[in-house]
Structure 1
Amino acid sequence: MTAPLPESVVTDPHGVYTELRESAPVHRFRLPDGATAWIVTRYADARAALADPRLSLNKRYAADGAWKGFGLPPALDTNLLNMDPPDHTRIRRLVSPAFTARRIEALRRDIERKAHDLLEPIAAAGGGDLVRGFAAPLPVAVICDVLGIPADRRADLRGWAGTMLAPPADDPAAPARAVASLIELLTTVIAGKRAEPGPDILSALVAARDDDGDRLTEDELTSLAFLVLVAGYENSVNLIGLAVLTLLRHPDQWAALRHDPALIPGAVRELMRFEPPAPVSIRRFATVDLEIGGVRIPAGDTVMVSLAAADRDPARYPDPDTLDLRRDTSAQLTLGHGIHHCLGAPLARLEAEVAVGAVLRRMPELKLDVDDATLRWRPSFRSRALLSLPVRV
C-alpha cells in the first residue's frame, strides 16, 4: 500500500525532502487528495525530468485515478500548464515578447513607487503584517497593471486564488465559486479590451486572437490571461514573504545586504534556491514506461519534481543548507527548466529585488514580531505560503 505524504511536509518541507533525497532518488506517495504520485528528489534526475518530453503536462495522458487535482473548465484549463508542443510552442511564442528582460526592467520604477507607498503606513505604525500590507498587494497591483485589469476589479483576486490553491475543508463548493468569479472577471475585461484596447498585454493577446483566429482560440485567450494572473501573483506573494522571513532568520545576511545593496539581485536568486515558493513542480504524466533514477515509472503515472529537494542537493550545491548570498546559483530549478521554464521569471525576480531593497531601505532594523514557531502557513505541500508575517520596526 502506498504511504501518505508526511503531514510535516507543510511545516518542515526541507526536513522531509532532505530525508527523502538521502534515502532514494524517487519515492511514491499518496497525496492529500487521494491520488498517487512519484516524487523526484535529486538534482540531476530532477533537471532531466523537467526537460523530458516523455513527461507530459497534458492530463489526457493520466491513467485512471492517477490524478485527482481540482478540475478547471475549458475556459481556464486550456493553458500552458496543461499543454505540450505544438500548441504550447505556438501560445508561448505569442506571449513571450511581453516578458522579455528588457520590457520587464522598464517596469522597475513603477514597482519601486508602489513598494514605497505600501511600506509607508507599515513603517509609520511601527510595524504590521508584511504579507497582508505589502507582499500580497504589491504583486497583485503589478500583474493587474501588466494585464490591464481595472483597479476596481482587483480586491477579491487573492481570496479567489487562495481558495483554488487550498480549498477550505468546510466549504467544498468554494473553489467552484472562485472559478466562476474569475471567469466572469476575465470575460468582462477581455470584452472591454476588444472595445477599447490599451497598451497592456491582454489587449495585445486579444488582438492576436481577433486578427488571426487560428492563433488563439477564445478558451486559449481566457486561459492564458488566467495563468498569467494567478501564477504571476501567487508565486510572487510567496517569494517576497519567504525572502523577508529568511533574511530575518539570518541577521548576518541581512546586515550584508544593508552594507552592500548591490548584492540584492544575486541574493534574490539564492533566497529562491534556499526557500522556493513552490516546493514541487507542476504534475507531469508519463506517456510511456520510463526510468528515473533507476526506478521504473509506468505510463500514465503522475510524476512531480521536488524543487526544494533538488536545489538543496549537495551533489549540485556545496553546503546547501547554508544561506550564502554570494553563492553561484546558476542552473537552479526553482523556476523550472526546459520548455516549461517559468514565463514570468524576469518579473518575479524584479518584484523580489525591488521588495527586498525597499524593505531594507525603509525598515533597516526590522524584526519579527511573533515567535517564529507560531507563524501560520497555508496547509498545502504545493506552495510555501505564509498566511501572515507580523513585524515591528
Structure 2
Amino acid sequence: MTASVEPSMMDPELIADPVGGYNRLREQGPVVRGRAPDGSPLWFVTRQEDVRAVLSDPRFVNSPESVPGVGAENIRDNLLAQIGVPAEYAHFITRTILDSDGVDHQRLRKLVSRAFTVRRINDLRPRVEEITAQLLDGLTDPADLKEQFAYPLPITVICELVGVPEADRPGWKEWGAVLTRMDNPEAVPGAMHAMVAHIRDLIVHRRTEPADDLLTALVHVRDEGDDQLSEDELITMVLTLVFAGHETTAHFIDAGVIALLQNPDQLALLRADPSLWPGAVHELMRWCGPVQVTQIRYVAEDAEIAGHQFTRGEVVQTVLVSANHDPREYTDPERLDVTRRPSGRGEGHVGFGHGLHYCLGAALARQEGEVALRALFERFPDLALAEPELEWEQVPGMRKVARLPVRLGAPMQ
C-alpha cells in the first residue's frame, strides 16, 4: 500500500497489521481518501481529536436514510449482499439501534439503557465472578482460552441478562461464526433464517412465561407500552444485544491475555498491585482493543473537520485504532503502560466509541474484562502461550485471534 493508491479496508496490510497500517494513514493526514469493503469511496478520519469531533457531530449520521435529498448508497447493504445475507433479512442487521439516528435512536436506546446502568452492572458482578470461577475450574492443560474461557464468559452473561436459555446458546455461537467470518456465503441464508426463527420463538415463549430478564421487558413494551416498538424492531434488538454483548468482549479478553503475556513487565505490575486492574482495562482497550473502526457515517450536511470540507452524501469512516495510538494525544503511544491514566478527557481513549453512539454495554465489557483477566492470571501464575505464533482471522475492521492455545501451569492453591 502506497500513498498514491487509495487504501481499502480490504487491504491485506491493514487486516494483518491494523495498528501499523492505520498509523501510517494517520501520518499521511487527518483525513485520507480510501475505499470501503465493497469498494465504495469514503474518507478515513484518523486522528483522535478529529475522530471525536466526527462522532459527536450530529451532521455525521449512521443511516443513509438520514441524509435528505441525496439517496446515499447503503454500504452495509452492499456488504451484506456480498457475504450472502438474503435481502429479506438484511434489515435485521442494518436497521438496528446502532444504525438509527436522532429521535429514533433515543427511543430505542431508552428502552434498553436501564439494563446497562452502572448500578445494574455492579449488581451483576458477583454473577460474573461466579461464571468466571466455574470456567476456570473447567480448564484442562493445555487449553484454548478463546474456546474455553474468553467466549463462554460474555455469551453466558449477556444471554442471562437478555433471557436466552442455556440450551440455545450453542446456536448463537454457530450463527455468529457464519456471519462474522465472511468466507462462507452459502451458509449465511440458513444461519439468518435459524436465528430469526429462534428469536421469534423466544418472544412467543416470553409472552406466555414472563421472566426477570430484558426480553420480557421488551415484549411488554412491544405489546402494551407507548414506545411503538415493532415486532421486527424487537427481533432486531435481541439480535443486536446478544451479538454486541459478547463478540467484542470475547475478543478483548483474548487480546488482553496476549498483551499481558507478551509484556511481562506490565503483568508484574498488576500482580504487585491489583488496584491497577480497572485502569489497566482502559489501557488495554486503548492499546489492543479489537474494534479497529466505527460504523460508517454519512454526511447529512456540509461540514468542515480538520480543515477538510465534507460534502453532504459523502461517506466517512472514523479509525479508532489510529486514534488510540495518536502521538498527539499520548506519550509513547506504542508502549503498553498499565499505569497510564487519562489526562482529563473521560476514559482517555475511544475504544468504546464516542458521542451519542458510545457503546451502550461499555461498563459491562469493562467489568467482564477486569474480572476475567484478573481471575485468570491469579489462578494460573505460570500461564504461558503454547505456540510461538498466533493465527489471526482475516476480517476487516476487527482484530481477533483464531485460537488462543496456552499452557496453564500449576494453579494457585
| Cα distance, 1:240 vs structure 2 | 0.5
Q: Would you say 1:380 and 2:392 are equivalent positions?
A: no
Q: Would you say 1:118 and 2:135 are equivalent positions?
A: yes
Percent identity of the aligned residues? 39
| Cα distance, 1:271 vs structure 2 | 0.2
Q: Which moved more, 1:152-161 or 1:278-287?
A: 152-161
The answer (yes or no) to whether the contact 1:284–1:302 under 8 Å persists in 2 is yes
How do 1:50-69 and structure 2 match up within 5 A? 50-60=55-65, 61=67, 63-64=72-73, 68-69=78-79
Q: Which residue of 2 aligns with 1:150?
A: 165
C-alpha separation in 2, matches of 1:3 and 1:263: 38
CA pair 158-301 structure 1, distance change in 2 beyond 3 A: farther
The answer (yes or no) to whether the contact 1:258–1:364 under 8 Å persists in 2 is no
- String of CA shifts for 1:336-387, please: whole Å, max 9, x gaps: 111111000111011101100111111111111111xx31112112211111
The answer (yes or no) to whether the contact 1:76–1:222 under 8 Å persists in 2 is no
Equivalent of residue 367 in structure 2, options 330, 342, 350: 350
C-alpha separation in 1, matches of 2:74 and 2:404: 38
Q: Would you say 1:84 and 2:62 are equivalent positions?
A: no
| Cα distance, 1:214 vs structure 2 | 4.2
The answer (yes or no) to whether the contact 1:115–1:358 under 8 Å persists in 2 is yes
CA pair 79-64 structure 1, distance change in 2 beyond 3 A: closer
- String of CA shifts for 1:313-335, please: whole Å, max 9, x gaps: 11112111111111113331110
Q: Would you say 1:311 and 2:321 are equivalent positions?
A: no
Q: Would you say 1:4 and 2:14 are equivalent positions?
A: no
Q: Which residue of 2 aligns with 1:301?
A: 314
Structure 2: state its 5+ residue gaps: 82-88, 409-413
| Cα distance, 1:75 vs structure 2 | 4.2
SS of 1:159's equivalent in the other structure is helix
| Cα distance, 1:140 vs structure 2 | 0.7
SS of 1:296's equivalent in the other structure is strand
C-alpha separation in 2, matches of 1:270 and 1:252: 15
The answer (yes or no) to whether the contact 2:221–2:227 under 8 Å persists in 1 is no
Q: Which moved more, 1:90-99 or 1:215-224?
A: 215-224
CA pair 111-297 structure 1, distance change in 2 beyond 3 A: same
Q: Which residue of 2 aligns with 1:180?
A: 193
| Cα distance, 1:224 vs structure 2 | 1.1
Q: Would you say 1:26 and 2:31 are equivalent positions?
A: yes
CA pair 76-31 structure 1, distance change in 2 beyond 3 A: closer
Residue identity in the other structure for 1:4: S
C-alpha separation in 1, matches of 2:283 and 2:256: 10
C-alpha separation in 1, matches of 2:297 and 2:99: 9
Equivalent of residue 332 in structure 1, options 349, 353, 365: 349
Equivalent of residue 41 in structure 1, options 36, 40, 46: 46
How do 1:255-334 and structure 2 match up within 5 A? 255-329=268-342, 330-334=347-351
The answer (yes or no) to whether the contact 1:307–1:334 under 8 Å persists in 2 is yes
SS of 1:94's equivalent in the other structure is helix
What TM-score, normalized by structure 1, do the two folds share? Answer: 0.94
Q: Which residue of 1 aligns with 2:232?
A: 219
| Cα distance, 1:307 vs structure 2 | 0.6
Q: Which residue of 2 aligns with 1:232?
A: 245
Q: Which moved more, 1:378-387 or 1:94-103?
A: 378-387
- String of CA shifts for 1:31-73, please: whole Å, max 9, x gaps: 3332232111101100000111111111324624755221653
SS of 1:173's equivalent in the other structure is helix
CA pair 3-240 structure 1, distance change in 2 beyond 3 A: closer
Q: How many residues align?
A: 387
Q: Which moved more, 1:196-205 or 1:62-71?
A: 62-71
The answer (yes or no) to whether the contact 2:298–2:316 under 8 Å persists in 1 is yes
The answer (yes or no) to whether the contact 2:182–2:395 under 8 Å persists in 1 is no
Q: Which residue of 2 aligns with 1:243?
A: 256
CA pair 256-2 structure 1, distance change in 2 beyond 3 A: closer
SS of 1:107's equivalent in the other structure is helix
The answer (yes or no) to whether the contact 1:37–1:66 under 8 Å persists in 2 is no
Q: Which residue of 1 aligns with 2:176?
A: 161
The answer (yes or no) to whether the contact 2:131–2:153 under 8 Å persists in 1 is yes
The answer (yes or no) to whether the contact 1:66–1:300 under 8 Å persists in 2 is no
How do 1:351-370 and structure 2 match up within 5 A? 351-370=368-387
CA RMSD of aligned residues (A): 1.7
C-alpha separation in 2, matches of 1:76 and 1:312: 30
CA pair 293-154 structure 1, distance change in 2 beyond 3 A: same
Equivalent of residue 126 in structure 2, options 104, 109, 123: 109
